[in-house]
């Protein structure tokens, strides 16, 4: 391919400003080039909570967004994942203590399905029954939070640390804790996908009872 052809294709590309969802104040996440707006759809961009807010400090909280709509010069995104840096999680582990984690899949009031991974760090080693009780508390509180919140509200409670604080305050009565974090939160399915799965499940159940 000639230099002229490469230059021509490069000139045809347009740069789109990638914006965070409204719940994150439409903050600029960066720019992405494309010669066709359709090619921008489904692109993902990762940032840190500190960069998103324009604040200093450690960048332990990573957020991932996916482009769902494209305008004339802007690309609009949705939240798809929240995750704590692995180095940060490793720094919380102490010899002679317990790391207690669980994976919980919940559905919010507006029918988004979300996978949540809370983790607790004890001051000393907890026995099996205590760890089981802590996990049960985590599950109950995560399910309860989702049952009372929309997707945006649930994500806010995770990112702002309110959900982890609620788990800490409840679980510390079982065994002394040093810290509780939501290690990872992932959008698993949109409402239309959840509804379709439910309808398919009903159809299968109906077919099973036919005689």
| Mean pLDDT score across all residues of the chain | 91
The yes or no reply on domain 86-191 and CATH 3.30.450.20 is: no
| pTM of the shown model | 0.86
Q: Note the pLDDT tens digit of each residue in 51-87.
A: 998 876 668 999 999 999 999 899 999 999 999 999 9
Residue partners of 58: CB distance under 8 A and separation at least 6: 50, 88
Q: Note the pLDDT tens digit of each residue in 172-209.
A: 999 999 999 999 999 999 999 999 988 887 665 555 65
Q: Which ranges constitute the DSSP H helices of 13-127?
A: 49-53, 86-92
Query: What residue ranges do the domains of the chain occupy?
Result: 13-83, 86-191
Closest CA to 35 of 16, 58, 50: 16
């Amino acid at each position: 391919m000639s230099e002229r052809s490469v230059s021509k294709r490069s000139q045809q590309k347009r740069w789109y400003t990638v914006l965070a969802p409204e719940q994150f104040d439409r903050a600029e996440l960066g720019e992405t080039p494309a010669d066709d707006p359709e090619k921008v759809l489904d692109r993902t961009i990762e940032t840190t909570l500190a960069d998103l807010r324009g604040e200093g400090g450690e960048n332990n909280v990573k957020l991932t967004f996916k482009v769902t709509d494209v305008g004339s010069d802007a690309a609009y995104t949705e939240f798809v994942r929240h995750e704590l840096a692995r180095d940060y999680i490793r720094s919380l582990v102490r010899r002679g203590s317990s790391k207690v984690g669980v994976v919980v899949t919940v559905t919010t009031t507006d029918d988004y399905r979300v996978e949540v991974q809370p983790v607790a760090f004890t001051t000393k080693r907890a026995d099996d029954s205590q760890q089981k009780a802590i996990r049960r508390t985590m599950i109950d509180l995560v399910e309860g939070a989702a049952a009372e919140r929309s997707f945006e509200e649930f994500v806010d409670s995770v990112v702002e640390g309110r959900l982890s604080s609620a788990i800490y305050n409840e679980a510390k009565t079982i065994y002394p804790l040093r810290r509780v974090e939501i290690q990872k939160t992932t959008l698993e399915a949109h409402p239309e996908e959840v509804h379709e799965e439910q309808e398919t499940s009903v159809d299968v159940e109906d077919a099973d009872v036919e005689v």
